[in-house]
Chain A
Amino acid sequence: MSTQLANSIDAGGYNFAYLDEQTKRMIRRGLLKAVAIPGYQVPFGGREMPLPYGWGTGGMQVTATVIGQDDTLKVIDQGADDTTNAVSIRRFFARTAGVKTTELTTEASVIQTRHRIPETPLQAGQILVYQVPIPDPLRFIEPREVETRTMHALQEYGVMHVKLYEDIARHGHIATTYAYPVKVNDHYVMDPSPIPKFDNPKMDDSPALQLFGAGREKRIYAVPPFTRVRSLDFEDHPFEIQRWDESCEFCGATESFLDEVITNDQGGRIYVCSDTDYCRQRQHTTPKKQEAYP
């Protein structure tokens, strides 16, 4: 994080990174509390952003608050830098904060993401900002905020295990494939945002600071660097991540999260890395796959 206070610069009549400094101070206080209590959902006075709720306003408020003029920003959606919403958010900060942007995971000091954690391991000093739709992992079991706050306070997480158990009883597997609940620092059960469970292990003991912003629900939470993050499971049904029999069409990767791309209406499909930067780096360093494109 750039610790310098961002000077206000003129960005078409708006403050640096859009939010006014009082709002940033309020959010920073929330972030400090969130970092001090890993996994705890801190209510904050979320503001209306010029993008719709549900499109990353929470992540944008966090990014706007932590970013300084010396930072380099990367924005991904579904792992890709060139999906429409990622393009839109990156442009927003290029316009309102004038910061340097990048598509390289290794070059970024702040990475805002929706639904993925980059494949390239993060480093100390980097900040990963997650966009969060529904911050409370208990919400789909108990819709009432009044109830779930008490359940978190008392670590009353039995219902969550019952839900996972019911999955196993019905399907033979835990049927949660994304937004897979984790336990942070052996206390709070936390929603990792709708990342695939494939990415959950990357959160554990990460050297990077992980911040989560839910704009519509007005909650912030955090996982400080080097914090234990454990995916919920059972001894006889240990946590597993997705695997593919295929490899990436472009870089041949077998260890990355693959998107399925339908190529025709005859059932033809290829698999490609969801992380576009990772894929591009591999294409530079490893020879292309031999098979011809169908």
Chain B
Amino acid sequence: MYVAVKGGEQAIDAAHQWLAERRRGPKETGELSVSQIRSQMRLAVDRVMTEGSLYDPELAALALKQASGDVVEAVFLVRAYRNTLPRFLYTCPLDTRTMTIQRRISAAYKDVPGGQVLGPTYDYTHRLLDFTLMANGDAPQGPEPATEPLEACPRVLEMLNREGLIEGPDGQTEQSPGNQDPEPGDITRDPLSYPADRSVRLQALARGDEGFLLALGYSTQRGYGRNHPFAGEIRYGQAAVEIAPEELGFPVVIGDIEITECDMINQFGGNQTEAPRFTRGYGLGFGQSERKVMAMALVDRALRARELGEELSTPAQDEEFVLSHCDNLDSSGFVSHLKLPHYVDFQSELVLLRQLRREFQQRSEQRSPSSGQVSSESKQESEA
């Protein structure tokens, strides 16, 4: 009986074996291949890459397979793997102006140079279960690719910036001199410290849990730190990744990655010395991750409240609250650790609680020596 309290090595081994069997499922059904997951569960793969902060669709698909589709568990697998990789250098900043667009929309203008490109989106689907998918019906062929090349798609916010109607991407005014890019922080090497600069905040948000950021972003829309957002531009497509090795002296392209980017246009500020202008929030994620990058942009803007001189009163504006709790590895790890044994701490609490109840009992007996029945009942309880 006592042995059952302690876990054994055998129990752990057996649990792992059972888990492996359950992961595979009944042998009569075919096994999912990593390439199937990669190509047919692509949005799950994209989320694992974004929150795992590792661009590798194949490994993300493998992680999803190994994790039985549990996204947070898959993110964990990818992060633990990523942590062991050597780090050679930083890439040049991505130039998303020149990315190959698959989808690009602006909710601020009816038409913009380059046009509105709907692309592959669930947005206007009717959410009716498609039973032909269950019956192994063939998916329809996609539309023929357009013959004329896509026009260049300049950024919507840059057009506003040209008029001085919106701040620059770094939050500065358009005339800000020098405009040099400071070295970005890296929370995977240095622990977060507060106040955090914007590059660090954006990194934490990019790795942050989609659900958590979505809820926070939503809360700003409902009035908890409202900042009047417009989806200035959302774009999804392939961007070239460049590195500039010192010995070469010029950048070289090492490959393309799929990204989604969101520029939010937010309410304007202004004071005695500065003309009013729109402010902005920014979101970026791997693959097609629109919900994530929109939530990220809302929260990014909310976190800029202090710098913009707004009143700080809501959770989404609270840097320590948001950044300390947005990582789903942190949160799921610490919540799940409650499953670990706490016998010792619990025993300590029991000892104290029994003592306190005994003393309470004695005190109430002294106060009312006649109420014998009540006290004997509670005495039983205290010793149960």
Interface residues of A (CB under 8 A from B): 14-15, 18, 20, 43-50, 52-55, 57, 77-80, 82-85, 87-88, 91, 114-116, 133, 143-146, 171-173, 175, 177-179, 194-198, 216, 218-219, 242, 244, 257-261, 263, 267, 270, 272, 274
Which A residues lie within 8 Å of B341 (CB)?
77-78, 83-85
Interface residues of B (CB under 8 A from A): 1-2, 5-9, 11-12, 76, 79-80, 82-84, 86, 188-195, 320, 324, 329-330, 332-337, 340-345, 347-352, 355-356, 359, 383-384
Q: Does A54 contact B333, Cβ atoms closer than 8 Å?
A: yes
Q: Does B337 contact A274, Cβ atoms closer than 8 Å?
A: no
7 intermolecular pairs with C-beta atoms under 8 Å apart? A20-B86, A48-B79, A78-B342, A87-B9, A146-B320, A178-B349, A218-B192
Q: Does A20 contact B84, Cβ atoms closer than 8 Å?
A: yes
Which A residues lie within 8 Å of B12 (CB)?
84, 87-88
| Set A50, A57, A84, A177: member contacting B351, Cβ < 8 A | A177
Which A residues lie within 8 Å of B192 (CB)?
218
| Set B6, B11, B348: member contacting A196, Cβ < 8 A | B348
- B5, B7, B11, B340 — most chain A CB neighbours (10 Å): B340
Tell me whether chain B's interface is mostly helix, strand or loop, or mixed: helix
Q: B3 — nearest CB in chain A belongs to which residue?
A: A82
Which B residues lie within 8 Å of A47 (CB)?
83, 188
Could you tell me the distance in whole angstroms from the C-beta of B61 to the nearest C-beta in chain A?
A: 19
Could you tell me the distance in whole angstroms from the C-beta of B320 to the nearest C-beta in chain A?
A: 6
Q: Taking A115-B344, A178-B349 as given, write out 18 further A-B residue pairs in contact, using a Cβ cutoff of 8 Å, ordered by the A residue number.
A: A15-B84, A45-B188, A48-B329, A52-B332, A54-B334, A55-B336, A82-B7, A84-B341, A177-B349, A178-B344, A196-B347, A196-B348, A216-B330, A218-B191, A219-B191, A257-B347, A259-B343, A260-B347
Could you tell me the distance in whole angstroms from the C-beta of B48 to the nearest C-beta in chain A?
A: 14
Q: Does B6 contact A82, Cβ atoms closer than 8 Å?
A: yes
Could you tell me the distance in whole angstroms from the C-beta of A89 to the nearest C-beta in chain B?
A: 11
- How far is A83 from B341 in the complex, measured between Cα atoms in Å? 8
- How far is A82 from B335 in the complex, measured between Cα atoms in Å? 23
Could you tell me the distance in whole angstroms from the C-beta of A112 to the nearest C-beta in chain B?
A: 14
- How far is A144 from B319 in the complex, measured between Cα atoms in Å? 10
- How far is A197 from B349 in the complex, measured between Cα atoms in Å? 11
- How far is A116 from B343 in the complex, measured between Cα atoms in Å? 11
Q: B9 — nearest CB in chain A belongs to which residue?
A: A87
- How far is A126 from B16 in the complex, measured between Cα atoms in Å? 34
| Set B1, B193, B356: member contacting A173, Cβ < 8 A | B356
The 6 closest A-B pairs by CB, nearest first: A53-B333, A84-B7, A54-B337, A177-B348, A52-B333, A218-B191
- How far is A211 from B270 in the complex, measured between Cα atoms in Å? 52
Tell me whether chain A's interface is mostly helix, strand or loop, or mixed: loop
Q: Provided the pairs A88-B12, A175-B352 are in contact, do residues A52 and B344 lie with their beta carbons within 8 angstroms?
A: no
| Set A54, A88, A259: member contacting B344, Cβ < 8 A | A259
Which B residues lie within 8 Å of A91 (CB)?
9
Which B residues lie within 8 Å of A143 (CB)?
320
Q: A215 — nearest CB in chain B belongs to which residue?
A: B333
Could you tell me the distance in whole angstroms from the C-beta of B30 to the nearest C-beta in chain A?
A: 30
- How far is A16 from B384 in the complex, measured between Cα atoms in Å? 51
Q: Does B7 contact A257, Cβ atoms closer than 8 Å?
A: no
| Set A55, A195, A260, A274: member contacting B333, Cβ < 8 A | A55
Q: Does A196 contact B345, Cβ atoms closer than 8 Å?
A: yes
Could you tell me the distance in whole angstroms from the C-beta of B79 to the nearest C-beta in chain A?
A: 4
Could you tell me the distance in whole angstroms from the C-beta of B281 to the nearest C-beta in chain A?
A: 23
Could you tell me the distance in whole angstroms from the C-beta of B60 to the nearest C-beta in chain A?
A: 15
Which B residues lie within 8 Å of A14 (CB)?
84
Q: A179 — nearest CB in chain B belongs to which residue?
A: B345
Q: Does B80 contact A49, Cβ atoms closer than 8 Å?
A: yes
Q: Provided the pairs A14-B84, A83-B6 are in contact, do residues A53 and B351 lie with their beta carbons within 8 angstroms?
A: no
- How far is A242 from B341 in the complex, measured between Cα atoms in Å? 20
- How far is A54 from B190 in the complex, measured between Cα atoms in Å? 19
Q: Does B188 contact A216, Cβ atoms closer than 8 Å?
A: no
Which A residues lie within 8 Å of B190 (CB)?
43, 45
Could you tell me the distance in whole angstroms from the C-beta of B359 to the nearest C-beta in chain A?
A: 6
Which B residues lie within 8 Å of A48 (CB)?
76, 79-80, 82-83, 329
- B12, B343, B350 — most chain A CB neighbours (10 Å): B343
- How far is A231 from B185 in the complex, measured between Cα atoms in Å? 39
Q: Provided the pairs A45-B190, A53-B330, A87-B9 are in contact, do residues A78 and B344 lie with their beta carbons within 8 angstroms?
A: yes
Q: Does A197 contact B79, Cβ atoms closer than 8 Å?
A: no
Q: Provided the pairs A43-B191, A261-B5 are in contact, do residues A79 and B344 lie with their beta carbons within 8 angstroms?
A: yes
Which B residues lie within 8 Å of A179 (CB)?
345
Q: B192 — nearest CB in chain A belongs to which residue?
A: A218
Q: Does B191 contact A46, Cβ atoms closer than 8 Å?
A: yes
- How far is A116 from B342 in the complex, measured between Cα atoms in Å? 11
Could you tell me the distance in whole angstroms from the C-beta of A177 to the nearest C-beta in chain B?
A: 4
Could you tell me the distance in whole angstroms from the C-beta of B238 to the nearest C-beta in chain A?
A: 28
Could you tell me the distance in whole angstroms from the C-beta of B116 to the nearest C-beta in chain A?
A: 40
- How far is A260 from B190 in the complex, measured between Cα atoms in Å? 43
Which A residues lie within 8 Å of B336 (CB)?
52, 54-55
Could you tell me the distance in whole angstroms from the C-beta of B145 to the nearest C-beta in chain A?
A: 41
Could you tell me the distance in whole angstroms from the C-beta of B323 to the nearest C-beta in chain A?
A: 10
Q: B194 — nearest CB in chain A belongs to which residue?
A: A146
